[in-house]
Each structure stands twice: as C-alpha cells, then as structure tokens.
A and B are shown apart, each in its own frame.
Chain A
Amino acid sequence: MDLLRRGLLTLSLAAILGAASPACAEPASIVVASTTSTEQSGLFKHILPMFKDKTGIDVKVVALGTGQALDSARRGDADVVLVHDRPAEDKFVAEGFAEARHDVMYNDFVLIGPASDPARIKGLGVLEAFRQLAAAKPPFVSRGDRSGTHSAELRAWKDSGIDLAAARGDWYRDVGQGMGPALNTASALGAYILADRGTWLSFKNRGDLTILVQGDPRLFNPYGVMLVNAHRHPTVKVKEGQTFVDWLISPEGQRAIASYKIDGEQLFFPSAAQTAK
C-alpha cells in the first residue's frame, strides 16, 4: 500500500515538474495581441518563421477581436498589438498605453452575399449598398464582437444614414464571434456579411457566397502596430517588442508581408514607408 501510494505521489510530482520546467528554459519570446483576420488568414504563419530565423525571438500570437486585443494589452497581458481600427488605436495611444502607432499594411473589406443577390447590391458603392440592405432586409450577419471589422460595419451603417437601432430586426443576426464563424453562419444562412478580404480568401466553406461590392475607397482597411508602453506595464518586454515592431515596418518585414499570397492573390499590402515615423 505504501509502495503504491509513494509511486503515485512520485509520478504526479514528476508530471507537475515536467510540465512546469520548459517555461524556465524558453528562448526570448513576446506576446502579440492581434486580430482573428491576421491569424486566420495565415499571415503570421507565413512571416513569423522569417522573423524568428533572423532574431531568435519567438512571437506568440493571441488572436482576438481588435477591441479585446487592445483591452488585453491595457491589462498588461501583451507586449505588442497589431490591430485594425484606427479610432480605437488612436484612443489607445491617447490613453498612454502606447507611445506611438505605426502603419504596417492594409487590405480591404469586401461586402459578401449570396450569388443570387436578392437585395440587388452587386456593383454598388458601399453606402448605396448598405441603404439597399436596410430597405430590402435580407439576412445579414454582423460580427457583433467589437472587432475592427465590426467597427467598420457600424461606420458604414452610420455613414449611409441608417439608424441601425431602429432598422435592425430578425434579418440582422449579431453572432458575436470571429470572422471565420461569422462567415460560416452567413454561408449556412445565405446571408450578406462584411468581411476582410484576407480571411475571405483563405476561407474554405463558402457555399453560395460571393463578393458583391469591392473597391470602394471606404472599404480601405489599415492595420497599425504599437509597442505597449512600459511606463504603464513594467513587465512589457521592450527590447524584443521593439525589435519586432522595427522589423515589421522595415523593408525586409514589409517584403515578407507582401510576399504572402493565396492562389496567387496578395492578401496584405505594405504601407509602412508612406507614413511611418
């Protein structure tokens, strides 16, 4: 009995120690809070190995909606944020959680819907299309999760003069989830949805959905990167985090971003050279 008990104890202790020890011997690493669009489109999987080869720094990406990503950085749980909601990013800097924001890249949003297009929005401008949707009330899927894409959708309703609170009804499905699950829902419902082009291109369960509106300047979707301010959270890994930010906006990082393609189509377009300071 003693033998059995002692054996069990030793085994469990070994398991606990075994599980805990790798954390000590790990190489330099940073946590990047980013968006589901960058992770699910496969961009990070493409560029992070290049960064690791050059610097040896391990980048751990936690993919959240832009709002959540900024909140987790506010709590000090990330070293760097890479997100896409300019007003929210500017607020983050104004609150002192980051000292600077840098342009990194952009892609664009696309308005997607069933190929049969019952609301007849194909080829319209964005504002026109949203007005048409509010009038025809076909099923529409909203992210509803304070993500950058959700913010862009809400801006589009507002700019097209639609009072969403009054117009929404059964047709407006607020799913509160990431881009992928929202696209899955839209695909199952044959619904309209605003998506970022990157996730759409890498999305495999499209069903009957297709791009109906694209190319409107209002669909421009810029991404910014920020190092979390170490004055707010002393645990921020400033050196490694800054190395990552600098690499992303360097010619080398920008080339890495531009080289990511799915089926020959480029997903993200570098923009650091234009406005980075």
Chain B
Amino acid sequence: MPILHETLLRLWTLDRDVIAIAWLSLRVSLTAVSIGLLVGIPLGALVAVARFPGCGILTGLLNAFMGLPPVIVGLVLYLVLSRSGPLGSLGLLFTPSAMIAAQATLATPLVAALTRQVVADAEIHLGEQLRSLGLSAPRRAGILIYDVRFSLVTAALAAFGRAISEIGAVLVVGGNIAGHTRTMTTAISLETQKGDLSLALALGLLLMGLVVAVNAVAALLRGYAAKAYG
C-alpha cells in the first residue's frame, strides 16, 4: 500500500495552515455544541417532565430532528443569511459565526432528544416524589437534570460528533474560504477533489485523532467529577 506510506509521511509534515484549520474546526464545533447544550438540555428536560397537550408530537419531532440533513440546514441558513435574505444585514454569510449557527441547529435537537430520554427514565423513579412536593415543572426538570448529569456527557459527545464530522452545512454557509472558513471536513473534500488523496487521508486521520482526543478529555473530566461530586 504505497498510499498508506505516503499518507503517514504527509501526516508527519503537516504545516501551520493545517493547525489553523484544525483549530477552527474545534472552535466552531465546540461553540455550536455549547449552544446546543444550553438550549437542548432545558428543552429536552422540560418536554420530559411537563404534561401538556401535544407533548407526544413534540417528542416525536425532536427525535425526527436528530436526523436533520446538514445540507438542508445549510441551504435554509444560506437563504436566511444571504444579503437578499431576512437576516442579510447582519453580514454573517461566509463567516465562522454562520457555521456555528448551522452546527448549533444540528446539535440542539440531538441534545434535546437524548436529554428527554434520559430525564424521562429518571422520572420513572423520582417523578412521583417530586410531584408530591408540589414542585413546578421547571424545578423538577432542574433537579432531574442534576440527577442525570453524568449521562448527559454522552449527549454532549454525540452532538460534538455530529457537528465536527458534518460538511454539508459548513460548506454552504461557510464557503470553504482558505484561512477563514475552511474546516477539516471541507479541506478533506477539497483535497479529494484535487485528486490529492494522500493529503486528504492524512487530514482525515488528524480529524479522527481530534475526535478521539476530545472524547478522552470528556471521559477524564467525567471520571474526575464523578469522584469529586458523585
């Protein structure tokens, strides 16, 4: 396999540009996941504990939106952020902020749906008790979120995995501009298009390394927090 050898060689000689690209990918995806957690966790927990008409439909919608196609999210955001679109005056198209918005849109329903499931499971054991104390739905949701906090790390990692690996949305709203909005996935796609397969593979290995590293850090933090606060 000469391509394997060449790939490893390329991996060894990756330059500063690539580090900037990797950093942008991490920055965009981690920010998007943070937004997804801020919105998705309360939303998912509320849907799990609140009893209201249509909550079954909302649950179904959340679950379905886990499969939101990135390229559609990208296209809709493109039309919204375009200078001719409703939010065009913000000038966000082809910027990292637009890519964050796109990935946050993908991450939020995923976090919300997973949170809803985890909190609903916890509620089977604790819900009766909490309701008997006469606590409001947001209070009960808050307590249950705290109760399942370590399980939510998995939701965060799933959202990160979806964000960092997608290309459809960032390509459309980011434009794959060198040194500005080029991420790991759009760079891999570009090198593949140019027929430089060994460089594309080297970048792919680097991206997988990043994903593994982020997961390892999360596992360590979780272990540490479980010992300290569990």
Q: Measuring CB to CB, which residues of chain A are less than 8 angstroms from any residue of chain B?
A: 1, 4, 8-9, 11-12, 15-16, 18-20, 22-23, 31, 36, 40, 44-45, 58, 60-63, 72, 75-77, 177-181, 183-184, 187, 202-206, 233, 235
Contact = CB atoms under 8 A, between A and B. Distances in A.
Interface in B53-98: 82-85, 88-89, 91, 93-97
Nearest to A31: B94
Q: Report whether over half of chain B's contact residues are helix, strand or loop; otherwise say mixed.
A: helix
B34 A235 contact: no
Query: Closest 9 interchain pairs by CB?
Result: A180-B193, A76-B83, A205-B195, A62-B175, A12-B34, A204-B195, A75-B84, A19-B31, A60-B177
B28 interface: yes
A interface SS class = helix
Given A20-B97, A72-B82, A179-B193, 10 more contacts: A1-B146, A4-B146, A4-B149, A4-B229, A63-B176, A177-B193, A180-B193, A184-B195, A187-B195, A235-B91
B217 to A, nearest CB: 14
24 contacts: A11-B34, A12-B34, A15-B30, A15-B31, A16-B31, A16-B34, A16-B35, A19-B27, A19-B100, A31-B175, A31-B177, A60-B180, A60-B181, A62-B94, A75-B83, A77-B82, A77-B84, A77-B93, A181-B192, A184-B192, A187-B195, A205-B196, A205-B197, A206-B195
Contacts of A181: 192-193
Contacts of A19: 27-28, 31, 96-97, 100
Residue with the greatest number of chain A CB neighbours at <10 A, chosen from B34, B178, B180, B194: B194
Contacts of A205: 195-197
Contacts of A60: 94, 175, 177, 180-181
A12 B83 contact: no
A30 B191 CA distance: 24
Contacts of B112: none
A206 B197 CA distance: 11
B190 interface: yes
Q: Quick one: which of A4, A19, A179 has the most chain B CB within 10 A?
A: A19
B34 A23 contact: no
Given A77-B94, A180-B195, A204-B194, A62 B83 contact: no
Contact of A203 (B34, B35, B84, B194): B194
B37 interface: yes
Contacts, number: 97
Interface of B: 27-28, 30-31, 34-35, 37-38, 82-85, 88-89, 91, 93-97, 100, 146, 149, 175-178, 180-181, 190, 192-197, 229
A180 B180 CA distance: 22
Contacts of A15: 30-31, 34
B194 A40 contact: yes
B127 to A, nearest CB: 19
Contacts of B38: 9, 12
Given A4-B149, A20-B97, A75-B83, A204 B193 contact: no
Nearest to B89: A235
A21 to B, nearest CB: 10
B199 to A, nearest CB: 9
A23 B83 contact: no
Contacts of A72: 82
